[in-house]
Amino acid sequence: MKRDVQRIVLAAIIPLFLLFILYILKFLETGMDWDFTKLGVYPMEKRGVFGIFAHPLVHSSFKHLFANTIPFFFLSWCLFYFYRDIAPYIFFTIWIGCGVFTFLIGKPGWHIGASGIIYGLAFFLFFSGLLRKHVPLIAISLLITFLYGGLVWNMFPQFAKETTSWEGHLSGAITGTLCSIAFMKYGPQRPEPFADEEDIDEEEEEASSEEETKQPY
């Protein structure tokens, strides 16, 4: 029980730290009357290259940041809890991959916000659970579908608002899906059938052999 609680807490550390950074930057931007928009991605232009790395840290308003806070925390926590051994690699890949795809396919303008990462995490968790065919991970896939299934519509220009970076959402979804395939053989896996029975048989054989060696001659 204590170990489970420790895992839950540890999985929340990185998401909470990242959210702390996001809010500090937003308070600084507002309080100092700065504009961090140009830290975003500007597709296919040299001035937008740095945004590949920095764009998730910048939000247009507190309302924008508030809207991303809960899904960002929950999905990040799921990643670091259920995929703890490979979570940093996946998170970093989604972060950079989302920026790269947005740089390549985005419309002219500054693309900012952590929405792309949210889409990347959602799509990774959904497809990874299905591909691994492991019951707890499939349950997470179904939960993601129930909570965030509606996100899919904001990946298309026909349904997204003009001020919304549907390209960033689509880029995150593509990156998350690719990660679910690329990392399929790493991290938690479905237990082999009858593995427990084989372990029990081996233990019984070892116990019987020990008893035989103890028999007097």
Task: Break the chain into its structural domains and give their ranges.
Answer: 2-214
Which two structure tokens, joined as six digits, stand for 6?
């420790």
pLDDT at 217: 41
| CATH H-level, domain 2-214: superfamily | Rhomboid-like (1.20.1540.10)
State phi, psi for 111 to the nearest 5 degrees: -105, 120
The pLDDT tens digits for 79-104 are 999 999 999 999 999 999 999 999 99
**At which residue do the structure tokens 């001659």 appear?**
217
Q: What is the pTM of this model?
A: 0.86
The pLDDT tens digits for 6-50 are 899 999 999 999 999 999 999 999 999 999 999 999 999 999 999
Residue 207 pLDDT exceeds 70 = no
Q: C-alpha distances in angstroms, 178 versus 10, 83, 91, 117, 192? A: 26, 16, 13, 13, 25
Percent of the chain whose pLDDT exceeds 70: 88
Q: In the predicted model, what is the mean pLDDT of the chain?
A: 89
Residues 6+ apart with CB under 8 A from 114: 22, 56, 57, 59, 68, 72
Confidence of residue 3 (pLDDT cuts 50, 70, 90): confident
